[in-house]
Amino acid sequence: EAQVTQNPRYLITVTGKKLTVTCSQNMNHEYMSWYRQDPGLGLRQIYYSMNVEVTDKGDVPEGYKVSRKEKRNFPLILESPSPNQTSLYFCASSSFLAGAFYNEQFFGPGTRLTVL
Amino acid sequence: GESVGLHLPTLSVQEGDNSIINCAYSNSASDYFIWYKQESGKGPQFIIDIRSNMDKRQGQRVTVLLNKTVKHLSLQIAATQPGDSAVYFCAETQLFGNEKLTFGTGTRLTIIP
């Protein structure tokens, strides 16, 4: 089954404790992205990756890191989480089709993170 | 996308009626637009897209209209069903330039049985 998986689905942590949220896709997609979703603000893009070893900042990259060492994985790293990073996080992937990489972007199920 | 706000716009429609969800986008350089549907507890799901060289595109029970002059996008859902109840987001980007995807704040559609 074609899917994007995220782990963990729920996480409660404390300020300053490094954490990683994993994202994996089995569709051989080139493009992967991380979003955060907050009430009333919609989804905001954190980082995206066009392919292996290629990453770029989205609209809200502060406090986050990513890496793309393999095509299928795109982990989101919070080196020193703070309470304002409490949010619902989504990973997504899509393929390039004649340069159009949003041809059906697949989203993962989401990770609800609470930073105390 | 739409300006940031604390309150999610809502739309209630009788089952079987047509619904129209509107979205104003901000970047005149955007040339590719997408509508997503997000059901409770799930990630967004692609519905339909449209490029700026078109002003209308139809899918199954859905139609997207694009008015570049006023930077406005709408999603029409025909013969709504209970399963259409969800939050709907528009998103904008540039296909061959800025690869960022900017979402609107969303509209909550409720179908009344």
Question: Residues of chain A with pLDDT > 90: what percent?
Answer: 79
Interchain CB distance below 8 Å, A59 and B89: no
Question: Residues of chain B with pLDDT > 90: what percent?
Answer: 70
- pLDDT confidence of B53, banded at 50, 70, 90? very high
pLDDT score for A103: 60
Q: How far apart are CA B47 and CA B74, in angstroms?
A: 13
Establish how many alpha carbons lie within 13 A of residue B48's alpha carbon, considering only the half-sphere containing its beta carbon. 18
The residues, ordered by sequence, that sit 6+ positions from B83 with a Cβ below 8 Å of its Cβ are none
Question: A107 CB near a chain B CB, below 8 Å?
Answer: yes
Interchain CB distance below 8 Å, B43 and A108: yes
Of A59, A99, A110, the CB nearest to B100: A59
Residues 93-112 of B with CB under 8 A from A: 93, 95-96, 99-106
Interchain CB distance below 8 Å, A41 and B105: yes
Chain A neighbors of B103, CB-CB under 8 A? 35, 42-45
Q: Average pLDDT for residues B22-29, to the nearest whole number?
A: 90
- pLDDT confidence of B7, banded at 50, 70, 90? low
Amino acid at position B37, single letter: K
Q: How far apart are CA B15 and CA B77, in angstroms?
A: 11
- pLDDT confidence of B98, banded at 50, 70, 90? low
Interchain CB distance below 8 Å, B89 and A45: no
Question: What are the tens digits of pLDDT across the range A51-64?
Answer: 899 999 999 999 99
Question: Residues of chain A with pLDDT > 70: what percent?
Answer: 93
pLDDT score for B6: 44
Interchain CB distance below 8 Å, A92 and B89: no
Q: How far apart are CA A98 and CA A50, in angstroms?
A: 14
Q: Where are the beta strands (DSSP E) in chain A?
A: 4-7, 10-13, 19-25, 31-38, 42-51, 54-57, 65-66, 76-78, 87-95, 103-107, 111-115
Question: A56 CB near a chain B CB, below 8 Å?
Answer: yes
Is the pLDDT at B2 greater than 60, yes or no? no
Regarding predicted confidence, which is higher, A39 or A68? Answer: A68
Neighbours of B102 (CB within 10 A): 20
Q: Tell me if A42 sits within 8 A of B105, measured CB to CB.
A: yes
Chain A neighbors of B99, CB-CB under 8 A? 31, 48, 50, 56, 101
- pLDDT confidence of B1, banded at 50, 70, 90? very low
Is the pLDDT at A95 greater than 90, yes or no? no
- pLDDT confidence of B18, banded at 50, 70, 90? very high
